[in-house]
A = this chain, B = another copy of it.
Amino acid sequence: MPKGVYKYMNREQFEIRTDLALEVREDIEKKGEELKGVRVSEEERYGGEIRITTVSIETEEAARTMRKEKGKYLTIEVPFVRWEGEEEQELVAGVVADYIRKVLGKEERKSVLVVGLGNRDVTPDALGPQIIDNLCVNRHLIGDGRRQNMISAVAPGVMAQTGIETAVLVKGIVAETKPTAVIALDALAARNIHRLNTTIQLSDAGISPGSGVGNHRHALNKGSLGVPVIAIGIPTVVDAATIVNDTMNRLVEAINSYEGDTFCGGYEMLTEEERRMLVYELFTPEWRGMFVTPKNVDETINNMSITLAKAICYALLGKNRS
């Protein structure tokens, strides 16, 4: 084994960033580690066209292992990647609306603040603000006497634009406007390129804008905001490190299919942990802060924004609101 790998052995684990609980769990399973306190269930709809996986992180220990907050993470996998047709959009909007209705409950009148996280000026990060642009905001239009649910919305921008932690901005707005629930929307990072623009993650565990994991101080969740938070996101980028990982995996396959003299005599004997270290070693620091995204990202973001805006409007105002 190359020396370099040992150099980093004692460091904090090198993780390729993913915002999907589903992928975190897959990763832990691969390592062969036991994962207590996490329950997984699967469901299919529309003749298998849409697959829904629920990952429930039920204990603090599981949350630490997963590096995700305790709570339920629903993953909706859809078979289409361009979201173009109105029929596709309605299908997905319906499934997401069902989830929102279920989490928020039916009893009382709701006032929901929808927060569109992300940077409007960087296309793959514009999902949140673009959903806000398409939303059926009505809080200013309806009186106190009416029974209709109320929707308000903000797209607070990112820290590079405002100079302020986004979670702090949202906390201030929640404190002053007193919604009964918050829906936080964000573009996510996936590890698996097949999940780009094909997977929606819904969670009651909150979200940490612009952070990734472990930055609890700046999370948007029931603890920090005092009201239930539904986080909804779609992966629109992949961390550049993913490509390195992919490359090494394919290298191993190439080696394994090789029957002659030894090419790389050691890699296939490395443990999962050692392999991760090797990938870390091979990952040039310049790639940090870089993301990978497809060329036609503008169209996809646009279509997904329309779909998720519909989902929220259907959930809170009913389908035939217009």
Chain A positions near chain B (C-beta within 8 angstroms): 1-5, 84-88, 119, 121-123, 125, 132, 137-141, 150-157, 159-165, 168-169, 171-177, 193-194, 238, 240, 243-244, 246-248, 250-251, 254-255, 257-267, 278, 281-284, 286-287, 289-299, 322
Q: Which residue of B lies closest to A138 (CB)?
A: B163
- Chain B residues with CB under 8 A of A247: 243-244, 247-248, 282-283
Most chain B beta carbons < 10 A, residue from A159, A175, A297: A297
The 29 listed contacts between A and B (C-beta, < 8 Å) are A2-B257, A3-B259, A5-B254, A87-B322, A139-B164, A140-B164, A141-B163, A154-B164, A164-B177, A172-B177, A173-B173, A193-B287, A194-B286, A243-B247, A244-B246, A247-B283, A250-B282, A251-B251, A261-B266, A262-B265, A263-B265, A263-B266, A265-B265, A290-B293, A290-B294, A290-B295, A291-B292, A291-B293, A292-B292
B175 touches A298 (CB 8 A): no
Q: Which 10 A-B pairs rank lowest in CB-CB distance, beginning with the nearest?
A: A172-B176, A85-B322, A139-B163, A264-B264, A152-B163, A172-B172, A121-B298, A263-B266, A137-B163, A2-B254
Q: How near does chain B come to A209, taking the closest CB pair, in angstroms? A: 13
- Chain B residues with CB under 8 A of A293: 290-291, 293
A123 to B187 alpha-carbon distance, docked (Å): 15
Q: How near does chain B come to A253, taking the closest CB pair, in angstroms? A: 8
A152 touches B137 (CB 8 A): no
Given contacts A160-B299, A262-B265, list 18 more A-B pairs with CB under 8 A.
A1-B260, A2-B258, A87-B322, A137-B160, A140-B163, A141-B163, A150-B163, A152-B163, A154-B164, A164-B173, A168-B177, A169-B176, A173-B173, A175-B175, A175-B176, A261-B265, A263-B267, A293-B293
A267 to B137 alpha-carbon distance, docked (Å): 48
B295 touches A292 (CB 8 A): no
A250 to B169 alpha-carbon distance, docked (Å): 42
Pick the residue among B84, B119, B294 that contacts A322 (CB under 8 A).
B84
Q: Which residue of B lies closest to A266 (CB)?
A: B263
A162 touches B156 (CB 8 A): no
B286 touches A193 (CB 8 A): yes
B132 touches A161 (CB 8 A): yes
A263 to B243 alpha-carbon distance, docked (Å): 22
B193 touches A254 (CB 8 A): no
A161 to B154 alpha-carbon distance, docked (Å): 8
A85 to B287 alpha-carbon distance, docked (Å): 25
Q: Which residue of B lies closest to A3 (CB)?
A: B258
Q: How near does chain B come to A29, taking the closest CB pair, in angstroms? A: 22
- Chain B residues with CB under 8 A of A86: 322
